[in-house]
Structures are given as structure tokens and as C-alpha cells.
Amino acid sequence: MKILYSIMIVMLLSVNVYADESIVTLSTGEWAPYTSEYLLDGGICSEIVKAAFDHAGIETALEFYPWTRAIKMMERGRVTASYPWVKRSDIQEYALYSSELHVQVYSFFTTKNFSQRVLSMTV
């Protein structure tokens, strides 16, 4: 729940001058299953963000763009917020970040026979 409130607070700090002030306009791109205009409810991250705003009684409008355009729309004030993004210095110049929406861990795996050779390697 703490994450949801953090997301809400950060997004509410922005001002959207082009849209109805009672609707928060959000931009994102295609990154299934996290965000996608082809998935029910826009993907996992979209569900989390929407739930945070719903909890606060705030209506949202979601717009999908190519990633570069999604962030430019926020930078130029045409949408209130954009998600999900990793922390980047260029975005931090004009935006505030919430807590993480999700954390990913990437691993390497191999067959059991090969794994003994891999585990004994040193870098």
C-alpha cells in the first residue's frame, strides 16, 4: 500500500495543462506484460497505478506511445505522469520518481551437467 500512495503523491505533484483537471492523463509504452494497450487493464503496472488513483477517487486516462514520445509528453506537460521507468539522470531533471512499481531479478541458468563447469569458473 505504501508504494501505491507514493505513486499517487508523485503523480499528483505534476500539472497537466492540456486535459480536464479532474482526469489525470498518464503515458506509457509497450512492454508486455507490464504495460500494453493490447492487454486487459493495460498490463500489470497499469493496474497498480490505476488502483492507486482509484483509491484516491481520481479518474485516469491512459495513453500509449512509443517510449521516447511517452516521456516527452510528460516533459512538455501534455500528460501528468509516465510509467514505468528506471531512474535516469535526464528524467530526474524535470520529474519526481515514486517507489518501485516492481523489481526484477535476471538470472542465468543452464543444464545440471554443464552447471558444475559454470559454477567453477572465475571472472
- The per-residue pLDDT for range 93-104, each reduced to its tens digit, is 999 998 888 888
Tens digit of each residue's pLDDT (9 = 90 or more) over 57-74: 999 999 999 999 999 999
Amino acid at 54: D
Which range of residues forms the domain containing residue 8?
Answer: 2-119
Amino acid at 10: V
Q: What pLDDT does residue 117 have? A: 63
Task: State the CATH number of the domain containing residue 57.
Answer: 3.40.190
Q: Is the peptide bond before 66 cis (omega within 30 degrees of 0)?
A: no
| Domain count across the chain | 1
